[in-house]
Every structure is written in C-alpha cells, then in structure tokens.
Amino acid sequence: MAGLPNFIEGAAFGVLNDLLSAFRSNEGYAQPNRYEVLIFPPPKLGGGGQQNIFSGGERQSDARAISLRATNVTLPGRNLSTAQESNVYGPDREIVEGVTYADDISFSFQASSGLDERVFFENWQKNAFNEKTWNIGYYNDYISTIEMYILDQQDQRRYGLKLWEAFPKTIGANELSYGTSGEIMLLPVSFTFRYWTSLDQTQNPPINIFDRVFDTVVNATEREISRNIPKVLNRL
C-alpha cells in the first residue's frame, strides 16, 4: 500500500495535465463573453439584411449596429414534453409527446444618446399594431429571425442557433437617476419566438478565401470595438 499515495498523485497530475492540454488547445472552453448576435428585422421595417458597418454605401444597417450593441444575451433552451405510457409489460415508461421552447429570451443593448436602439424596436412593434387605430398587423409583417453564435478564442463561430418567427415582445423600462453619472444606459428587450434550430457551422457553403479573411478580420474588429466602448467612455 506504500505506493498508493504516489499512484493517486500521479493520476491526479495526469488528469490536471489533460485539463490544461484541453484548455490550451484550439478547442479550449466556451466563454460566455464570446458571442455574436445577428438581428434580421422584418423587410417592412427598412434596413433589412445585414450590412457590415465598414462597408460604406449610402446607408448603414441599423440592425447591424444594434446587433453589435448587445451586451447581455440569453441562449434559449428546449424542453421535451413527456407522458407516462402504462400500456406496456412491466414498469411504465416515459415517452415524448411534444416539444416546447423558452417563452421569451432577454437582451440588453447599449443605448446611444438619441436612444436610436429604442426607436428601432418601437418601430418594429408598430408593425404589429397601429398606434392610431389600434388595429393589429399581419403576423408575417412583424416576425423575423435572429442568429446567435458562440465564438472561440480566434473569434470563429463554433456553435449557432437561429430563432424563427421572432419579434420584440417587451421593451423594458429604464430608470433615470442623477447618481448614475458615467454609466452607459442598457436597454432591456425581450423577444418571443416560435422555435429555434441549430446552425451547423460545418455545413456552411464554401467561401472565397479572400472574402473569408476579410469577414474574419472585420467582424473581429467590430466586436472588439463594441466590447471596449464602456472602457473608453469611463476614461472620458
């Protein structure tokens, strides 16, 4: 038994070494602060589609700019509804009878001085109802899709979800106070959606190598700028 402590110590060192190797590898661990959100507004809202903020043109995509301001994001879950089946020999068994998704998911967006982000989501909600007549809009006029990605250390997309038939259900309230000088206002918005599907990053169509390098560099630059906005403002 004299060699048992050495065996345990060696085993523990081996496990620790495996963990460090995995951490230092290209895989690493998923980090909750490395993500990307792409919001695709309804076509009738205007500015539909995603356009890079550095790509120029007569107008930049409001949706793209707002997507970059998403500071807190909830990755939605999924639940299998089950029921007991007793019409079998032996003990009952649990079988799947349906699937349910999260009711709402929450976002927080960094707000600009003109609250352009709030105006954006208010206009989106106006597609669902008319403020003057209180008439309800057509379902297809206010639903859209949202894509959410988990990024690795090289800012490459490793896991993705796509929310279908999504729209901003609740624009949250903001408390104003003289005692919050130097802080950035965060706009809470809750989205509802019908369901989500996984985005398999290995099934993406091939992209020209130059376009791939350009997209990687520009997207990484945009995300880095967005992450450092609070730090810069706190120094002013």
Domain contains 199: yes
List of E strands, 111-233: 144-151, 157-171, 186-192, 195-199
pLDDT of residue 223: 56
Got the DSSP string for 206-221?
Answer: P--HHHHHHHHHHHHH
User: What's the domain count of the chain?
Assistant: 1
Q: Which domain holds residue 94?
A: 27-235
Domain contains 8: no
Q: How many CB atoms lie within 10 A of CB 109?
A: 25
Domain contains 11: no
Domain contains 191: yes
Domain contains 80: yes
Q: Using one digit for the tens of pLDDT, what is the confidence trace for 86-144?
A: 887 888 899 999 999 988 999 999 999 899 999 999 999 999 999 899 999 999 999 99
Q: Using one digit for the tens of pLDDT, what is the confidence trace for 190-222?
A: 999 999 999 975 544 444 444 444 454 555 555
- Can you tell me the distance from the alpha carbon of 151 to that of 146, in angstroms, rounded to the nearest whole number? 16
Domain contains 7: no
At 75, list the tokens: 């990755």
Domain contains 12: no
Q: Using one digit for the tens of pLDDT, what is the confidence trace for 30-62?
A: 888 899 999 999 988 754 444 333 333 333 467
**Residue carrying structure tokens 């496990």:** 15
Domain contains 2: no
